[in-house]
Homo-oligomer: A and B are copies of this chain.
Amino acid sequence: MQMDERKRKILRAIVMDYIATAEPIGSRTIARKFDLGVSPATIRNEMADLEDLGFIEQPYTSAGRIPSDAGYRYFVDCLMDPQALSEEDKETIERESTKRIHEIQEVISHTSKLLSELTNLTSLVLGPHKGKSTFGKMHFLPYQPGQVIMVLVKENGVVENHIIDIAENLTAEELQHVAGVFNQKMRGFSLGQVKRSLLHEIYSELSRQRQLIDSTMDRLRAVLDDDEEEERIYLGGTLNMLNQPEFRDLGKVKTLFKVFEENESLKKLLHPHQEGLNVTIGGENILKEFWDCSVISSTYKVNGLTIGAVGVIGPTRMDYANVIAIVDFMTRSLTEVLTRGRPRGY
């Protein structure tokens, strides 16, 4: 059996009506609401075909039909009118993104908030991944008796400071010497790469400062290793989920919110299968908790390099055309803001 124009029209009508009303729709109602020029009986026959094709299903005998995952997929791929963003939304995004913001965290959380407000869904934003963080340069500064500040400048430009305990009798010159050796030997290395031989070199050059080296290395190890996976994820508008009729059930809400609390799982939802815009529908999601949700996501870039992703999650019954337009525009805007403004922190 093949899809013909009339089947397409009917499927389109079913999907659009269900998106709007969240109620199963029957042949009679379709005939009344949409002007297809055929009788309910004809529509019934076509609907039986559509069900055989797997595009629609009945929640129970003699209820109306609702789209299946495959139906949504066909709708998104073939039937949907690509919708332009409303002028109003466009203005909102542009207005919000011209605010000058210094920290990347702020940009991200702001994006997340905006996205959930525009879509009335839950937004996810994956912060920029920082690549392997490698040693750039370090300095010691005096702090308190027995402690110094280690200022670490990574090669990607991030600056951090850490307090380190030291022996009280170390002089400023000795500290500077140690920092000098570290800077000379370690530039460009990530901690994973620090080979035993290098460590030996450092130890032998600084035989007297063994304790300082140890605590410095300890801290560096923690910092440089941690970072690799420190892609924070930002959630916004989780409460919007509660407005969706499909989550009137408390059990569902609970499992959903439980996943929201685990960052690791959420990242999986966003990790894009390909660059650019992705639509993942229902059972296509990796996590079974989200088998009745769809995720629209897209990647953002800095200087042509993909560094993170933003997405929106909602019930499979979502307004795909609209949400896709919003997510798409949003990533473009974010890419532009980041490339132009270059806030700190990545």
User: Which A residues fall within an 8 A CB radius of B?
Assistant: 102, 139, 141, 143-144, 149, 151, 153, 157, 159-161, 163, 238-239, 242, 248, 250, 253-254, 257-258, 261, 344
Contact = CB atoms under 8 A, between A and B. Distances in A.
Contact of A163 (B139, B159, B160, B254): B159
B149 A151 contact: yes
Contact of A239 (B141, B151, B258): B258
Q: Which 6 A-B pairs have the closest CB atoms?
A: A159-B161, A242-B254, A139-B141, A149-B159, A239-B257, A161-B161
How many copies of this chain does one complex carry?
2
28 contacts: A139-B141, A141-B151, A141-B153, A143-B153, A143-B159, A144-B157, A149-B151, A149-B153, A149-B159, A151-B151, A151-B161, A159-B161, A159-B163, A160-B161, A161-B161, A163-B344, A238-B257, A239-B254, A239-B257, A239-B258, A239-B261, A242-B250, A242-B253, A242-B254, A242-B257, A248-B250, A250-B250, A253-B253
Nearest to A257: B239
Contacts of A257: 238-239, 242
Contacts of A153: 141, 143, 149
Nearest to A144: B157
A253 B163 CA distance: 43
Contacts of A250: 242, 248, 250, 253
Given A239-B257, A253-B253, 12 more contacts: A139-B141, A141-B151, A141-B153, A143-B159, A149-B151, A149-B153, A151-B161, A159-B163, A160-B161, A239-B254, A239-B261, A242-B254
Contacts of A248: 250
A102 B151 contact: no
Nearest to A159: B161
Query: Which of A141, A144, A248 gathers most chain B CB within 10 Å?
Result: A141
A303 to B, nearest CB: 16
Contacts of A141: 139, 151, 153
A37 to B, nearest CB: 42
